[in-house]
Chains A and B, each alone.
Chain A
Amino acid sequence: MHSMNTVVLVKGVPDFREGKVSFKEDNTLNRGATPTVLNPNDRLALAAALELKVKHGGSVRLVSMGPPNYKTILREAMEVCGDEAYLLSDRMMGGADTLATAETIAAGIRKIGLPDLVIAGFKSADGETGQTGPQTAWVLDFPIITHVVSLEVDEKARLVRARRTAGDDIEEIEAPLPCFIVTDPGFTAVFRSATNRLRLLRLGEETVARASKIDSVFKMWGVADLGVDPKKIGLKGSPTIVNKVEPIPVAAKERTAQVVDAKDAGQLDEVARRIVQLVRG
């Protein structure tokens, strides 16, 4: 077994789940009162890495950029899959837009050593740009396959074979290793053999145990460690700025609603009859 080296990119985002997320009165997100969790789409990138580790062995390294407390995000990710975790953290990295983030992450990956595969999830739940993955691939000069729903590696031929969604089509893609993969929200790992299912269980238990004592496999790197050009990262390396945030005005009144009190059975019956008439008409 050649043993695959994989890097998975993960990110912390506000927890949008009901009961966790907090909105202000004007319906905008109350960031201070909303906890940070692993970006849900990143779980699919981790699932892809785990699938490859089950089938090909090798190591999976997790990379994130963010404040020091993002170690908890890396732990959450490692509970799914991961041998080592790297947090790129430095005040000088703060305020980065997607291009500056891509430069930073690419520098982190180069310092680890170029892997066979980099896997990222489809866009983050907060920024929702979907740009950081493709831009990181570009900075690394890796071939890239986005919207991947299933994945296979041919170690002998040093090839990735992937299925990806393309509008209303599905494509079968071939690309050489090393390669950059962005998983689609519809990604599914496939385990056909009993051996692989058992391996999946064992690796799952191992990674949960590893995550519980993450300190021994955790590294935090700053700008000096990465040797990245300070002009290309953080606020300085970011072409874009957020100039203004404003509430979107609510839509103008377009229809005058007939108001029905749900407690009045007669009124509800009338609405029901109207609905049925409309549906039939």
Chain B
Amino acid sequence: MSVASTWTPKGNYRDMWVYCEQNHGKFVTCSLEMLGEARRLMDKYNVDYKADEKVVAVVFGHKVDGLVQEAFEHGADVVYACDHPALENFILEPQTKLLAAAARGKDHYKSYDEPRYFLFPATNNGRDISATAMAALESGLASDCNVLYISDEPIKHPVKTRRNEVIEEIVYPRILHMKRPDFSGFEWSTILCIDDPDKDFHPQSCSVIPGSFKPLERAAGRKGVRVNVAFNLGEKDQRVKIVKRERLPIEVDLTKREVIVAIGRGIGSNPTQGIKLGVELAQALGADVGISRGVVTAKYPVDASVQQYTKEIRQIGETGQMVKPKVYIALGISGAIQHKKGMDKSKTIITVNSEPSAPIKEFSDVYIHGDLFEVVPKLKEAIQRALGGKNGGKV
């Protein structure tokens, strides 16, 4: 029996870098969550591989001294900081160029070729810069991950492990395993970024779904190494200009609602009617309406009168709004983990579902077994009767 050979990259790679996005001078919460996870991953890595590799934060903005210290106190050993008025608001092209220059450059801290790993927040800006930065560094990334771990991985692949027309098994050491839930929330894909016989693909990178990881408790006064990145960009690097920036009123904010009626794919046989029933139930309770990811992706052809309730801005779940009302009423929602993460802090969860094996039953306080098209009108009437007893029918 032959023993699988072990891959050795051609370049020299170290450390886990974290792009810490800030907005109006404050870190987005995912930045601190990623620093926490990077700290946990690299502490274990340093034990497993008897290494001494660091957590490196990237902080770009204007007047960032406070943010740099905050990054140290949340787990960063090193911070690459660029402080410049042009970086006050996020613009993709200059940020990408500065980041690529820092990742490739050599300085008083960094003597290696490129980062070993790179994490980005799966926010709008974070996803964009993850993509352009990896295009600039010619490496690969997984998007929207929520589980990460590092281990050696034996791989057989028609291109990457082909040697003299034979596909061998080769062990790739220190691989970042990046798990992402798919659109339905029922399937995980593990994405790996793997060097090629002709070309190294480093850093191994991904974007991280906000809320996936816990930040560390802030260690006041924790110190680290600061590396200042020179803002050496010219006009050609700053082609996109922000002329004006203003606050957008939040269209639908479910996070502060005390009562929510949420609608899922169970409405599929008659989407317009299903949404109407949900909205009427919500109105009876003075509640607002949310939807599951399934309703967003299903793109139901619905009447214009209920169209506003099928928009992504009403989505509840890991990739939508995270809600914790007093009462959460789920109509025809099966309960994928990505939905659960957005609502399981609700005080009381009441479910209407025709499928007794639906996962949502396992985290419901009341499970009403039945077809929502029959149950919801009856439930609404019963609620109206219950309301009628006191307060003249008002909640």
Contacts and interface: CB of A to CB of B under 8 A. Distances in A.
Chain B binds chain A: yes
Interface of A: 16-19, 21, 23, 26-29, 40, 97-99, 102, 125-126, 128-135, 137-139, 143-147, 161, 165-176, 185, 231, 235-236, 238-255, 257-263, 265, 268-269, 271-276, 278-281
A168 B251 CA distance: 10
Given A257-B364, A272-B382, A247 B188 contact: yes
Contact of A245 (B189, B347, B378): B189
A271 B288 CA distance: 19
Interface in B232-287: 239-248, 250, 258-259, 265, 268, 271, 285-287
Contacts of B123: 167
Given A99-B138, A185-B312, A272-B382, A255 B364 contact: yes
B89 interface: yes
Contacts of B193: 239-240
B60 interface: no
B186 A28 contact: yes
A67 to B, nearest CB: 18
B300 A18 contact: yes
Given A97-B140, A125-B297, A255-B362, 10 more contacts: A17-B299, A98-B141, A166-B90, A239-B201, A251-B363, A257-B366, A262-B371, A265-B382, A269-B385, A269-B386
A273 B386 contact: yes
Contacts of B192: 240-241, 243
Nearest to B251: A186
A125 B187 CA distance: 15
Contact of A138 (B132, B240, B271, B286): B132
Contacts of A126: 183
A248 B265 contact: no
Interface of B is mostly: mixed
Contacts of B125: 166-167
B248 A165 contact: yes
Contacts of A257: 351, 361-362, 364-367
Nearest to A235: B159
Given A240-B191, A243-B190, A252-B362, A168 B247 contact: yes
A29 B334 CA distance: 15
Given A143-B240, A245-B189, A269-B385, A279 B395 contact: yes
B158 interface: yes
A260 B125 CA distance: 46
A16 B92 CA distance: 31
Contacts of A170: 245-248
A129 B183 CA distance: 11
Contact of B92 (A134, A165, A236): A134
B299 to A, nearest CB: 5
B289 interface: no
Interface in B136-191: 136, 138-144, 153, 155, 157-160, 177, 181-191
A13 B369 CA distance: 34
A102 B347 CA distance: 46
Give 5 nearest A-B pairs by CB, closest first: A239-B140, A262-B370, A272-B382, A239-B201, A240-B140
B369 A271 contact: no
B321 interface: no
Nearest to A102: B135
Interface stretch (B47-55, B109-117, B218-226, B335-343): B335-343
B62 interface: no
